[in-house]
Structure 1
Amino acid sequence: MPFAPGAIPRSESYDAFVASVPDSRASPVKSLARARDASASATTGDDERPRVMLLHCGGTLGMGVESFELREADVVPRAGGKYRPLGASKYLLDVQEVIPELRDFARLDVEVLMNKDSSEMDGKDWVTLARALHERREEYSAFVVAHGTDTMAYAASALSLMLVGFGKPIVLTGSQLPLSFARSDARQNLIDALTCCCASRSCGGTVDFAEVAICFGGKLLRGNRASKTSATVYAAFSSPSYPALARLGVGVDWNHARLLRPAPEYAPQFELNSNVIRVPVIPGLDIEKAYGDLYGRGVRGIILEAFGVGNFPQSLVPWLTSQASRGLQIYLSTQCQSGELRPELYAAGLGALAVGAKSGPVMTSECAVVKMMLHIANPELELHVSYSGEAGDVDFCDIK
């Protein structure tokens, strides 16, 4: 698929942007939206819709084909397809023209923070996004983040740990097909995400939802518990270790008991060290040949993905001992998607713990990597402590 790498900073509300567009470009859809807004204003007086910011980071959702004029001169050939920058102004027009219902839920402002293929995003981009949310925290009731699906779970995990106690909904969403495609899932995902953000208004009651989540394919999932599990189906994300926070169909079925409890205080952190890798254990692994001196090559933390509850060949312990003595941070995880970690039950696990490896409740691989990045830069952030509901056992006999 043609993605659009590169950043295009732009900050502009929809109303301000539309005001700058000549009347000759007005469309029937835009006219309908304006008429509905004018009617609502006349009948209700003060606008009680919550203010919501939609931050666009890139990905499939904002890609354009039919909805944008494409000049061959704008196309850049690259491996796998043809790419071109996605204009911020065009996106601002499209998202609220094509989905005018968004304005029924909220006074929506749109900002194109960046416009990147999510596979190109890294820790610096997560910091940029976290700071943008932090700076706008007092202005808006909730936030929707349009993000590419490939690394959405990493970004959601990062935001949940960098903005502990943020106290307002931050919902990431995207799509498997661009908004401009006839069978796109972008429209429903955006409407669902905004529905969840405005839960107290759109769901007919009070919903204590104020955490980082992913809304995709009719489900609202805790962001740091989610993983992308399909490249093609619309329900692309799963949460094997934690139940869905809500399911969206004809109505919205909230799992109130599983919503994150408020943190005692807001404690943002904007520093991380990206020199972290995952080390999955495989049968017969020659760890020296496969990885060698990781610390000497600049790696500062690893997620050692063991078997089952924390078992792995004892032949790895000398390598772990050597690397740990040089300063490598080690988090002992599992290749299982759910369950508990008990590395102390095995000699190899005890050996790893003895040289300083940390372990704790099972986290997703995405969350474990991000948490290690933050831990290296902020040692007071403990790897085995759950800060935003990212870890901890769940009784699956007592969930929806």
Structure 2
Amino acid sequence: MKRILLILTGGTIASVETEQGLRPGISEEELRESLSGITDFCQVEILSLLNVDSTNIQPEHWQMIVQAIEKRFDCYDGFVITHGTDTMAYTAAALSYMIQNPHKPVVITGAQKPLVKTVTDARKNLRDSFRFACEENVNGVFLIFNGEVILGTRARKVRSKSFNAFDSINYPIVAFIDNDRVIRYVDISGDSGPTSFYSHLVPKVFLLKLVPGITPDILDYISDHYEAVVIESYGVGGIPFADERNFLEKLECLNRKKCIVVIATQVMLEGSDVELYEVGFRAMSRYHLLQAYDMTTEAIVAKLMWLLGKCNDFESFQKEFYTPVSCDLLRCE
């Protein structure tokens, strides 16, 4: 019987009703009752690490989770982390960079309805997560929700209330869980290389979403306070250069200040192709910029925080950014 560590961080799954709305606060006794069927097929131990709404999750909490797993890594066959849904995709992406090639499953799950509710998705998501964590030849960080197993670098929350809250973006789901049957679609056995843990992050990453009317002066503030900026542009990606809202001059300033710039798209599916139009070609041909291609925003942000702690110059940063980690990037030209 496999030994799985359940790491609690709070979130809706652990919430109870209060006068000020739902708040994490489930008792350990109530949680253990929900594991009664799960303990029939695996041994479960519990670590209460955090008890927060995932809106309050920060990079420092990712470091706590990774350190907790690294410390206990050799003692368990897999790990299940309960987490709030609002920032779960960011956490899944971050853990994918901070725990590479783990040779065992690291599963993140949660719920849209609290575990203490009569009608809830929490019990299914928990059971599915433990079932998958007990699978053989599973290597990596995964998000499991509504029966779908999603790579940590490809998950995004796409519905705010429904049970099918997450999708796999620009990549197939890894597996589907039907009761106790796991149907795999993607090879997740990994390679024979060693497991690598990373704890150093630099969270000075800004996400800027372009809207008509935005002025380029915003980049002055960003470059003074952040070390990297992700510009979510329109369509396949482009940078406005017309009239008084010309962003190109500001890109030159960002380069001088050695602020890393990634051009991404606001469109959820199919990714960027920045040089297709003049509005993108001008920027890419003149300045040191990166583009996101088919990466999710969550993965871009997490990867930048990880790389800012590793790379000292644009050339090495560019090489590392375009090096796929856990299938985070498939299209790179």
TM-score (norm: length of structure 1): 0.75
Per the alignment, do residues 351 and 320 of structure 1 end up closer, same or farther by CA in structure 2, a change over 3 Å counting? same
User: Is contact 2:78-2:104 (8 Å) kept?
Assistant: yes
CA distance in 2, matches of 1:260, 1:391: 18
Query: Which of 333, 354, 357 is equivalent to 2:264?
Result: 333
Partner of 1:295: 223
Partner of 2:120: 184
CA distance in 1, matches of 2:331, 2:154: 12
1:230-241 map, 5 Å: 230-241=159-170
Deviation digits for residues 208-258 of structure 1, max 9, x if unmatched?
321111111111111110101111111110113111111122453523434
SS at structure 2 position matched to 1:148 = coil
Per the alignment, do residues 175 and 371 of structure 1 end up closer, same or farther by CA in structure 2, a change over 3 Å counting? same
Query: Which of 162, 165, 175 is equivalent to 1:246?
Result: 175
1:119 correspondence with 2:55: yes
SS at structure 1 position matched to 2:50 = coil
Partner of 1:51: 3
Could you tell which deviates more after superposition, 383-392 or 308-317? 308-317
Partner of 1:319: 250
Give the AA of the match of 2:84: G
CA distance in 2, matches of 1:269, 1:190: 27
Partner of 2:235: 308
SS at structure 1 position matched to 2:113 = coil
SS at structure 1 position matched to 2:36 = coil
Unaligned runs of 5+ in 2: none
Deviation digits for residues 243-279 of structure 1, max 9, x if unmatched?
1111122453523434363362322211111111111
Per the alignment, do residues 124 and 113 of structure 1 end up closer, same or farther by CA in structure 2, a change over 3 Å counting? same
SS at structure 2 position matched to 1:115 = strand
Deviation digits for residues 75-127 of structure 1, max 9, x if unmatched?
7x7xxx1577737xx22x22221330110121100010111111101110001
Give the AA of the match of 1:159: L
Partner of 1:60: 12
Give the AA of the match of 1:187: R
1:102 correspondence with 2:38: yes
SS at structure 2 position matched to 1:241 = coil
What is the number of equivalent residue pairs in this alignment? Answer: 321
SS at structure 2 position matched to 1:247 = strand
Please state how far the C-alpha of 1:313 moved relative to its aligned partner. 1.7
Give the AA of the match of 1:322: C
CA distance in 1, matches of 2:35, 2:322: 43
Please state how far the C-alpha of 1:280 moved relative to its aligned partner. 1.6
Q: Percent identity?
A: 27
User: Is contact 1:53-1:140 (8 Å) kept?
Assistant: yes
CA distance in 1, matches of 2:186, 2:172: 10
Give the AA of the match of 1:243: P
Q: Which has the larger radius of gyration?
A: 1
User: Is contact 2:12-2:23 (8 Å) kept?
Assistant: no
Could you tell which deviates more after superposition, 304-313 or 347-356? 347-356
User: Is contact 1:56-1:113 (8 Å) kept?
Assistant: yes
CA distance in 1, matches of 2:190, 2:23: 43
Please state how far the C-alpha of 1:337 moved relative to its aligned partner. 2.1
Give the AA of the match of 1:330: V
User: Is contact 2:92-2:152 (8 Å) kept?
Assistant: yes
Partner of 1:228: 157
Partner of 1:349: 280
SS at structure 1 position matched to 2:153 = helix
User: Is contact 1:260-1:388 (8 Å) kept?
Assistant: no
Partner of 1:20: none
1:364-375 map, 5 Å: 364-375=296-307
- RMSD (Å) for aligned C-alpha atoms: 2.1
Unaligned runs of 5+ in 1: 1-48, 66-74, 201-207, 395-400
Query: Which of 315, 324, 333 is equivalent to 1:386?
Result: 324
Please state how far the C-alpha of 1:184 moved relative to its aligned partner. 1.2
TM-score (norm: length of structure 2): 0.90
More strand by share: 2
SS at structure 2 position matched to 1:257 = coil
Partner of 2:25: 86
SS at structure 1 position matched to 2:10 = coil
Per the alignment, do residues 260 and 319 of structure 1 end up closer, same or farther by CA in structure 2, a change over 3 Å counting? farther
Partner of 2:95: 159
SS at structure 1 position matched to 2:302 = helix
CA distance in 1, matches of 2:30, 2:86: 23
1:138 correspondence with 2:70: no
SS at structure 1 position matched to 2:61 = helix
Give the AA of the match of 1:311: G
